[in-house]
Amino acid sequence: DKTLVAWVSPANLTQQGGSVLTLENSAAEFDAIVLGELVPGKWMAGSDFFRRTEKEQTDWPVETAGPDSIVQIAIVYKGRQVTLYRDGKPYARYTMQGDPKVFAEDTAVVIGLRHLDARGDRYFAGSIDDARVYDAALDAATLAALKPNGMGDPEPLAWWSFESGRAEDHMKTFPDVYLSGGAALENGR
């Protein structure tokens, strides 16, 4: 079980397939918070070759936040059940077809880029104010109580607030960090 959480401001709602936050192992298997890959303007749980992704997103809400708004997006994995939340409220829910993916010591966290081997324009366009990984499935009340740039309860496995002007994991779970592809830190994002 795990939870990916981020507070973001999309630059536009027409972007396709950029990831806000990705966990990826050495076999290029990944789970991610993605905007607009299959349906423009809709959040989804991205995964390698859509193995843990719901492809039918017709009834899911279209994002309305723009560059001047911050929205919390969370994806909770509990066994085979995947629930997406927007600002602590349920956004979409489904049961993945295969087994959940376990991420261990060989895991990389990728922020902004879809996954490590992504080709073309697979970056999230916008800003990321705070990003976290939890090693448990959080519920709606816990997600709603979390605030960006403050620890909160429970303690995350990994946490990037960017407030220091550096892309550092405050929890020191992922100590190696570097920026690439035009990524920059500005104004705590």
pLDDT tens, position by position, 117-159: 877 677 899 999 999 999 999 999 999 999 999 988 999 999 9
- Residue 188 contacts residue 129 (beta carbons within 8 Å): yes
pLDDT (0 to 100) of residue 177: 75
CB 29: neighbour CB atoms within 10 A? Answer: 18
Tracing tokens 């918070």 back to the chain, one arrives at: 33
For the entire predicted model, the pTM comes to 0.94
100 SS3 class: coil
Please report the sign of the dihedral spanned by the C-alpha atoms of residue 138, residue 98, residue 90, residue 121.
Answer: positive
pLDDT (0 to 100) of residue 116: 75
Q: In what order do the strands lie in the sheet with 43-47?
A: 43-47, 30-35, 18-24, 108-112
H-helix or E-strand containing 86? strand 81-86
Is the model's pLDDT at 180 over the cut of 80? no
Higher pLDDT, 115 or 162: 162
Tokens coding 148? 């960006």
Tokens coding 86? 């927007």
Q: State the virtual CA torsion across 177, 120, 184, 163 in degrees, nearest 10.
A: -60
pLDDT (0 to 100) of residue 186: 82
Q: What is the pLDDT of residues 62-85, one digit of tens each?
A: 999 989 999 999 999 999 999 999
pLDDT (0 to 100) of residue 175: 78
